Amino acid sequence: MPFRAERAVAEDGSVDWVVVDVDSHELHVESTTFLAGRQLHQGEIATVRGRGCGGGGS
């Protein structure tokens, strides 16, 4: 079941990215939600590496 990213343009002109099944064009909900979250937090500096994932040092 291959998937691909598609641009979705709403009636108001806003653009979002969604992930769809190539054959059925059904949304892959988890991936689409992930992409929406990345767009929402695009300007934030914090990363997973910066959150102290067990490397000692602090």
- Residue 52 in any domain: the answer is no
Instruction: Please indicate whether residue 5 or residue 58 has the higher confidence score (pLDDT).
Output: 5
Domain span holding position 21 = 3-42
- Residue 27 in any domain: the answer is yes
- Residue 34 in any domain: the answer is yes
Specify the pLDDT at position 58: 44
For residues 36 and 48, is the Cβ–Cβ distance under 8 A? no
For residues 21 and 28, is the Cβ–Cβ distance under 8 A? yes
- Residue 53 in any domain: the answer is no
Structure confidence by residue, pLDDT tens digits, 26-44: 999 998 888 888 776 665 5
Count of domains forming the chain: 1
For residues 18 and 6, is the Cβ–Cβ distance under 8 A? yes
- Residue 49 in any domain: the answer is no
